[in-house]
Amino acid sequence: MNLKHLSDQQIHAIDQAHVWHPYSSLSQPLPTYHVSAASGVRLQLGDGRELIDGMSSWWCAIHGYNHPHLNEAVTAQLGKMSHVMFGGIIHEPAAQLAQRLVDITPEPLNKVFFSDSGSVSVEIAIKMALQFWQAKGRAEKSRLLTLRKGYHGDTFAAMSVCDPETGMHHLFNEVLQQQVFSESPRCRFGEDWLQDYLADFERQLTTHKDQLAAVILEPIVQGAGGMCFYSPEYLKGVRALCDEHDVLLIADEIATGFGRTGKLFACEWAGISPDIMCVGKALTGGYMSLAATLCNDKVAAGIGESEAGVFMHGPTFMANPLACAVANASIELLLESDWQGNIARIEAQLEKQLAPCKAYNTVADVRVLGAIGVVEMKDFVDVAALQKRFVEAGVWIRPFAKLVYVMPAFNIEAADLSSLTAAIVDVLKPD
């Protein structure tokens, strides 16, 4: 076989024989679709078909694919330096990106630790919290409080703060650190607020406060754990309770950061700042894997006073110059665009065009926030079967569990978004 020039059939044969895809079985592999190119909001399949992408590659390609401004940033940096170790070295793209992140995230977050994936940024945030309390002589503060229906990644510490029952990682429960869980917020975004909505969280926090290093949550939007949208008042209350009981607050903005919810960061809906914040996914506009964990002076100074005197982490590819360069270009492109207007336009269109699903007896709920549209079914869906029908309809939508949802690029045109919503309305229509 000539591996330099593979046909569509050869690619699928290798895939079926050797490639392990995320959340898949090699004994019963799910169908896959060969993408040969991508541009704008379209994926080109190896057999010549085109699909309108409703997932923005798991929520990160916020500007679409093959964007000339981002291409130029990568190409320019490639001619200078593709990678260099970050131990004892600084370079211009990293310095620019650190300053940009400090400038646009909620004050007083002003220290930036780079890594190469969202899960690792969560690991780093947890290690920061643990090392902070060890430095304070409070090593017993070693657990985390988090929310059911939450999702924070697939590495071990990150798995420990995902929902242990309904989440994706219950098989590992016996070997994971046992964390503290509060009920998922019952207060939907935009609905009337009752203080009782915080009762279970407050009970868990006050009961375990002497053991808790930090609270970790996804602000406003719980992503892969259930695509739930909750009230900013809940987040305000969490911040106040953490302050009252001397517990750090970690905000996982990996899915929500960089405009997805209608605010640059979802914490802004509540007007709060966490002690530690994780960002990733859309950080590079979907071009390369890069993440960052930010913290405030309190956390940084505490770690500096620890037994080690330094933060004990150092990924090989942290602050990769290519990734930092394209992240700078992506943030620049976002901030110079009318992103708020685009998000408002997408939100209004999703609300109007997904509304017919509310009448289906198979649908439990339809909800929209920013550039996120969700149809929640009453029963678990057949992912492969739905995927096939969506592809036949000319769109790329990847359901999971009971959820069929879209998170398109911010520059998607109205006609293309209509194709996505029409496919959902048609494919989910009961027989």
Mean pLDDT for the stretch of residues 214-220: 98
| pLDDT of res. 308 | 78
Please indicate whether residue 23 is annotated as part of the active site. Answer: yes
**pLDDT band of 309, cuts 50, 70, 90:** confident
**Domain end residue (candidates: 320, 336, 352):** 336
Q: Which of 205, 350, 218, 314 is nearest to 274 (CA)?
A: 218
| pLDDT of res. 306 | 76
Residue range(s) defining the domain that contains residue 332: 72-336
* Together in a domain, 61 and 126: no
In tens, the pLDDT along 61-90 reads: 999 999 999 999 999 999 999 999 999 999
Please indicate whether residue 358 is annotated as part of the active site. Answer: no
Asked if residue 12 belongs to a domain, the reply is: no
Mean pLDDT for the stretch of residues 350-355: 98
Query: Which residue among 23, 192, 379, 431 is the active-site one?
Result: 23
Mean pLDDT for the stretch of residues 210-220: 98
Residue 173 has pLDDT above 90, yes or no: no
Residue 169 has pLDDT above 70, yes or no: no
* Together in a domain, 40 and 189: no
Asked if residue 16 belongs to a domain, the reply is: no
**Domain end residue (candidates: 302, 336, 370):** 336
CA torsion sign for 252, 120, 95, 325 is negative
**pLDDT band of 280, cuts 50, 70, 90:** very high
Please indicate whether residue 252 is annotated as part of the active site. Answer: yes
Asked if residue 6 belongs to a domain, the reply is: no
* Together in a domain, 211 and 286: yes
Residue 307 has pLDDT above 90, yes or no: no
* Together in a domain, 187 and 241: yes
Domains of the chain: total? 2
> At 399, which CATH number?
3.90.1150.10
**pLDDT band of 44, cuts 50, 70, 90:** very high
Residue 378 has pLDDT above 90, yes or no: yes
Mean pLDDT for the stretch of residues 268-278: 98
Residue 166 has pLDDT above 80, yes or no: no
Asked if residue 233 belongs to a domain, the reply is: yes
More confident residue, 308 or 6: 6
Asked if residue 4 belongs to a domain, the reply is: no
Asked if residue 15 belongs to a domain, the reply is: no
- Give the C-alpha separation, 280 to 253, whole Å: 8
Query: Which residue among 281, 287, 405, 416 is the active-site one?
Result: 281
* Together in a domain, 214 and 323: yes
Query: Which residue among 252, 263, 275, 405 is the active-site one?
Result: 252
Query: Which residue among 65, 151, 197, 405 is the active-site one?
Result: 151
C-alpha 264 chain-centroid distance: 14
Q: Write out the two tokens for 292.
A: 């960052």
> At 163, which CATH number?
3.40.640.10
- Give the C-alpha separation, 107 to 64, whole Å: 30
* Together in a domain, 288 and 404: no
| pLDDT of res. 168 | 62
For the stretch 31-65, what's the b/e string if a residue is b when 16 or more beta carbons lie within 10 angstroms of its beta carbon?
A: eebbeeebebbbbbbbeeeebbbbbbbebbbbbbb
Other Cβ atoms closer than 10 A to 172? 14
In tens, the pLDDT along 418-429 reads: 999 999 999 999
More confident residue, 25 or 292: 292
Mean pLDDT for the stretch of residues 379-402: 96
Please indicate whether residue 243 is annotated as part of the active site. Answer: no
Residue 225 has pLDDT above 90, yes or no: no
In tens, the pLDDT along 312-349 reads: 999 999 999 999 999 999 999 999 999 999 999 999 99
| pLDDT of res. 401 | 93
| pLDDT of res. 8 | 94
Q: What percent of the chain has pLDDT over 70?
A: 99
More confident residue, 291 or 25: 291
Q: Where are the alpha helices (DSSP H) in 282-413?
A: 297-304, 321-336, 339-354, 383-392
CB of 397 closer than 8 Å to CB of 360: no
Q: Could you tell me the pTM of the whole model?
A: 0.96
* Together in a domain, 55 and 158: no
DSSP 312: -
Asked if residue 158 belongs to a domain, the reply is: yes
* Together in a domain, 60 and 182: no
* Together in a domain, 303 and 377: no
**Among 37-41, 76-80, 91-95, 301-305, where is mean pLDDT lowest?**
301-305
* Together in a domain, 164 and 223: yes
**Domain end residue (candidates: 288, 304, 336):** 336
Left (φ > 0), alpha (ψ -120 to 50) or beta: where does 288 sit? beta
Mean pLDDT for the stretch of residues 135-161: 96
Average pLDDT along the chain: 96
Residue 167 has pLDDT above 70, yes or no: no
* Together in a domain, 389 and 302: no
Cβ-Cβ contacts under 8 Å for 283 (sequence gap 6 or more) = 60, 257, 258, 290, 291, 292, 327, 330, 331
Asked if residue 207 belongs to a domain, the reply is: yes
* Together in a domain, 141 and 208: yes
In tens, the pLDDT along 233-266 reads: 999 999 999 999 999 999 999 999 999 999 999 9
Q: Scanning the structure block, which residue is given the tokens 């409080």?
A: 145
